[in-house]
């Protein structure tokens, strides 16, 4: 392996790594934005649905009257919302974990490829005459 080939291999490896890193970073950013929008939509849906929910029971029961059914449904409504929020948080944690694992895997692959190039250069240097660059001796 000539030094030129080694340097070209390093340049190609670095370019590939930069492209992969940019792609991963953008995907991470988009994923974070998606989870933020999903959280906002859940909160907005809960806030919009709550007056309709309580209004429905107020209309049936009359204002100022709280029944056991109303209390149960109110608790269920809050639990459903919390379950949705928890599921979104769990999904986001899984996404972040996968992203971090991809970062580690990419770094490992880069180090292995770099080591391979270095090994190839070392093997090429072992096989050539150390004084060849000085001409005839």
Q: What is the chain's pLDDT, residue by residue, as a tens digit (137 residues)?
A: 678 888 999 999 999 999 999 999 999 999 999 999 999 999 888 888 777 777 766 666 665 666 677 778 778 888 988 999 999 999 999 999 999 999 999 999 999 999 999 998 888 888 776 666 565 54
Q: What's the pLDDT score for residue 66?
A: 63
Q: What's the pLDDT score for residue 127?
A: 76
Residue ranges per structural domain of the chain: 3-39+69-126
Q: What's the pLDDT score for residue 104?
A: 95
Closest CA to 12 of 124, 137, 110, 127: 110
Phi, psi of 23 (to 5 degrees): -65, -45
Q: Which residue has the tokens 């919009």?
A: 48
Q: What's the pLDDT score for residue 129?
A: 64
Which residues, 6+ apart, have CB-to-CB distance to 42 below 8 Å? 81, 84, 85, 88
């Amino acid at each position: 392996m000539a030094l030129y080939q080694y340097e070209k291999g390093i340049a190609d490896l670095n370019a590939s790594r930069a492209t992969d890193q940019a792609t991963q970073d953008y995907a991470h950013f988009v994923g974070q934005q998606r989870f933020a929008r999903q959280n906002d939509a859940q909160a907005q849906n809960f806030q919009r649905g709550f007056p309709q929910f309580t209004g429905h029971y107020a209309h049936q029961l009359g204002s100022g009257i709280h029944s056991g059914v109303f209390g149960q449904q109110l608790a269920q409504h809050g639990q459903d919302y919390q379950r949705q929020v928890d599921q979104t948080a769990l999904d986001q944690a899984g996404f972040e974990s996968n992203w971090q694992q991809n970062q580690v895997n990419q770094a490992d692959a880069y180090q292995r490829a770099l080591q391979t190039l270095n090994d190839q250069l070392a093997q090429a240097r072992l096989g050539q005459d150390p004084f060849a660059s000085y001409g005839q001796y």
